[in-house]
């Protein structure tokens, strides 16, 4: 899993120091590569879960793992601001794609895909509750308890997690990400340029604003 970019944002005692720190943060946002946007947006094994204006000037594709702490941190601390500032205002189209790092992450994504068009709410709950299922001994029971709150029954839960085609498709989405150069999570492609790590809203704004 990717670490947050090592930018020391210490408390500033004056404006010059604050500006220097801001500059350092922006400098840390250099893209680590790029991909052909047409290839990035090619249909995959599973339909993209798109939120935002289809014609937004900026497209963000995130590859994440449900058991990745940095991914959970991004979705808890940065995504709400990204949603309010850019997605709901029509400036950004956002797509989350599956890049599971282990079987538990695969199970989490499968449940999100089975959640009756509640993909993002289910993802949000699983990230917020990550320590309650991803790091416990009996993850299956923990996931079942969370899934029941989302409307699953024991039967629909079992049916989802034993759906071999869905598992194969989730793995195919990960394989496509690997072909695009994803090696860690979270990895973001912003208008085709690649960035790794759980960025803050300030860091994302530094990338997005010049594209608007």
On the CB side of 37, how many CA atoms lie within 13 Å of its CA? 8
Give domain status of residue 55, yes or no.
Answer: yes
Domain count, the chain: 1
More reliable by pLDDT, 177 or 34: 177
The whole-model pTM stands at 0.85
Contact status, residue 184 vs residue 100, Cβ threshold 8 Å: no
Contact status, residue 146 vs residue 114, Cβ threshold 8 Å: no
CATH number of the domain that residue 29 is part of: 3.40.30.10
Give domain status of residue 2, yes or no.
Answer: no
Q: How far is CA 203 from CA 6, 24, 28, 34, 83, in A?
A: 12, 10, 8, 18, 15
CB 68: neighbour CB atoms within 10 A?
A: 25
How is 122-139 classified by DSSP, letter by letter?
A: HHHHHHHTHHHHTTSS-H
Local structure of residue 56 (DSSP, 8 states) = -
pLDDT at 30: 80
> What kind and span of H or E run contains 111?
helix 103-113
pLDDT at 32: 81
> What kind and span of H or E run contains 158?
helix 154-161
Give domain status of residue 9, yes or no.
Answer: no
pLDDT at 116: 84
In this model, does residue 25 exceed pLDDT 80? no
On the CB side of 26, how many CA atoms lie within 13 Å of its CA? 12
Give domain status of residue 132, yes or no.
Answer: yes
Contact status, residue 60 vs residue 188, Cβ threshold 8 Å: yes
**E strands, 99-171, in order:** none
In this model, does residue 13 exceed pLDDT 70? no
pLDDT at 2: 41
Q: How far is CA 5 from CA 2, 9, 35, 198, in A?
A: 9, 11, 21, 8
pLDDT at 183: 95
The pLDDT tens digits for 80-127 are 999 999 999 999 999 999 999 999 999 999 999 999 889 999 999 999
pLDDT at 33: 86
Give domain status of residue 8, yes or no.
Answer: no
In this model, does residue 15 exceed pLDDT 90? no
The pLDDT tens digits for 163-198 are 999 999 999 999 999 999 999 999 999 999 999 999
pLDDT at 31: 85
> What kind and span of H or E run contains 60?
strand 58-64
CB 42: neighbour CB atoms within 10 A?
A: 9
Give domain status of residue 196, yes or no.
Answer: yes
CA distance 73 to 127: 8
Residue-averaged pLDDT of the chain: 88
Strand partners, 94: 51, 60
pLDDT at 29: 72
pLDDT at 137: 94
Mean pLDDT lowest among 17-21, 40-44, 93-97, 113-117: 17-21
* Domain carrying residue 114: 15-211
Give domain status of residue 188, yes or no.
Answer: yes
Cα dihedral 79/109/91/183 (nearest 10):
80
CA distance 74 to 183: 18
Give domain status of residue 125, yes or no.
Answer: yes
**And the tokens for 206?**
């530094």
């Amino acid at each position: 899993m990717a670490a947050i970019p090592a930018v020391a944002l210490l408390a500033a005692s004056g404006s010059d120091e604050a500006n220097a720190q801001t500059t350092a943060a922006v400098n840390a946002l250099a893209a680590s590569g790029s991909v052909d946007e047409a290839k990035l947006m090619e249909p995959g094994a599973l339909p993209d879960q798109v939120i935002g204006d289809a014609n937004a000037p900026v497209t963000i594709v995130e590859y994440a793992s449900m058991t990745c702490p940095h991914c959970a941190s991004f979705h808890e601390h940065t995504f709400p601001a990204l949603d309010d500032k850019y997605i709901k205002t029509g400036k950004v189209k956002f797509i989350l794609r599956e890049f599971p790092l282990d079987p538990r992450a695969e199970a989490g994504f499968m449940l999100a895909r089975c959640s009756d068009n509640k993909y993002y709410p289910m993802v949000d709950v699983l990230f917020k509750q990550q320590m309650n299922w991803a790091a416990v001994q009996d993850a299956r029971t923990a996931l079942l308890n969370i899934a029941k709150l989302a409307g699953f029954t024991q039967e629909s839960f079992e049916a989802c997690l034993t759906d071999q085609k869905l598992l194969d498709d989730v793995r195919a989405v990960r394989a496509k990400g690997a072909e695009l150069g994803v090696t860690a999570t979270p990895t973001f492609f912003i208008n085709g340029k690649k960035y790794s790590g759980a960025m803050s809203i300030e860091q994302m704004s530094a990338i997005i604003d010049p594209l608007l």
